Structure 1
């Protein structure tokens, strides 16, 4: 039997980290150590039955070190731990912001790997309640993930991807991208663009309610129309399309709500600005 891969999870009790801790703690292929400093995080760890380790004992011995810490703290935390990692190990990041912002210490003798969940699709079909209401993923609902090898040995891509499939499981599909492409996906596409649109959708519903529409009617009407319009636009209803009247209404809305240069959000310099702002 092969020896288990030694993993150190930094930020093991955080909002993201405790999810990863829960998926790693009983996995036979991984011998996991957990690092956490906040009392709230330590309490989350106790709730799932894992205990903290000492960094000086586990980081130098780890094959993979996962950094599950906020973007704003990434520079400080990685400067503390990456110098102590052994040559040939893998530093894993859960989004592209810190690597693209240049907040990582230089270590040419280790690999850097990034991965991020797509989160369960709105088009998922989940047969049981536990899966249906796992909106975030990593508990019971199926989701896809993206992965990028930032630097290092090509064989480390598979090692990192396998860890990613466990921490985000159940995973249906893993898609390889570059770290630059991951930056376009997050924050540009998913947060700067889509997050803004969805926030405006909620604000639009609130305006309808302020205008006298019953809250229940506004909510149900919007949720249903989101469902059918997503299905029409993203190929879930073959041959389906908007009516001529709806197309005219959409053009009116786009003209009133969007600047002509909105696609600049996805240009490299804009992506860098967005990453700088959140890190």
Structure 2
């Protein structure tokens, strides 16, 4: 039987993983130092194991800890792992920044959920329809990077990742460098910023007299169809008026060199903020 040690099991992300892994046949060892986290695990019928004991027994060790603690916890856990075991981290920032320790007889894997797509509109289960994060009822894809190790290590890790992010449709194999371009650059630096601007624009329309409910209904409906147009989900193009508005507004809303967020120096500055905060 495969043994898994989940570090940070009672935390925000850890409890999500705990809930799914408790449904599997894996032998689970839960590590959680905080009293609040231990109480959350107790509510789920899970008991706590010390880090030393859990890591020494585990075939796979999962770090469900904040980005700025991954390096510290990894340096504590990896030397105690048994040969042939695998360490799984839930983000690429720390590995890309070189915060993981080196050990040739242990494999390392990074992963991240894609979250349910905005075009996942064929979900019929009410719980799935409101599972925006994923890992509960809505289907999602995941991305996985083998940092070091064998194909067998990757296959074993993928099965576990599919289990704790379930229900998973596709597991996209990428590199750590790819994963960093996806997050923080694409998902947070770019997309989250644009979404925040959309909300601020809606608030400004309300401040200028548009009823709040009307503004919300209008923008959320338009964002839905605009995403479908831009990402090729429907054949309808933007209207001529919309195309002119986009061309005019780009120079107002964005700097010409905005794609500089993909440059390595900007990426590393962002990662340093993430793992060092």
Tell me if both proteins adopt one fold, taking TM over 0.5 as the criterion.
Answer: yes
Shift of 1:254: 1.0
Q: Counterpart of 1:9? A: 6
Of residues 105-114 and 115-124 in structure 1, the stretch that sits farther from structure 2 once superposed is 105-114
Match of 2:141 among 144, 167, 177: 144
**TM-score (ref. length: structure 2):** 0.97
Matched, 1:206 2:203: yes
Tell me, in whole angstroms, the C-alpha distance in 2 between the residues paired with 1:270 and 1:202: 25
1:118-149 residue CA offsets vs partner (Å, 9 max, x unmatched): 00000002101111011110000000000000
Tell me, in whole angstroms, the C-alpha distance in 2 between the residues paired with 1:57 and 1:39: 19
Match of 1:120 among 112, 116, 120: 116
CA RMSD of aligned residues (A): 0.9
> Which structure 2 residue ranges, 5 or more long, are not aligned?
none
Shift of 1:113: 0.2
SS in 1 for 2:133: coil
Tell me, in whole angstroms, the C-alpha distance in 1 between the residues paired with 2:17 and 2:252: 43
Tell me, in whole angstroms, the C-alpha distance in 2 between the residues paired with 1:7 and 1:44: 19
Matched, 1:33 2:34: no
Shift of 1:82: 0.9
1:22-79 residue CA offsets vs partner (Å, 9 max, x unmatched): 1111311x11100001122112212222111112222111110000000111121111
Matched, 1:267 2:263: yes
Match of 1:222 among 219, 223, 233: 219
Contact 2:83 2:105 in 1 (8 A): yes
Tell me, in whole angstroms, the C-alpha distance in 2 between the residues paired with 1:75 and 1:173: 29
Tell me, in whole angstroms, the C-alpha distance in 1 between the residues paired with 2:168 and 2:98: 29
Q: Counterpart of 1:178? A: 175
Q: Counterpart of 1:95? A: 91
1:84-110 residue CA offsets vs partner (Å, 9 max, x unmatched): 011111000001011011111111211
Shift of 1:157: 0.7
Contact 2:60 2:87 in 1 (8 A): yes
Of residues 47-56 and 105-114 in structure 1, the stretch that sits farther from structure 2 once superposed is 47-56
Equivalenced residue count is: 274
Match of 1:155 among 136, 140, 152: 152
Structure 1 residue ranges, 4+ long, deviating more than 4 angstroms after superposition:
none
SS in 2 for 1:137: coil
Q: Counterpart of 1:130? A: 127
Tell me, in whole angstroms, the C-alpha distance in 1 between the residues paired with 2:269 and 2:107: 26
Report matched runs for 1:103-118 at 5 Å: 103-118=99-114
**TM-score (ref. length: structure 1):** 0.96
SS in 2 for 1:65: strand
SS in 2 for 1:274: helix
Of residues 39-48 and 207-216 in structure 1, the stretch that sits farther from structure 2 once superposed is 39-48
Matched, 1:69 2:76: no
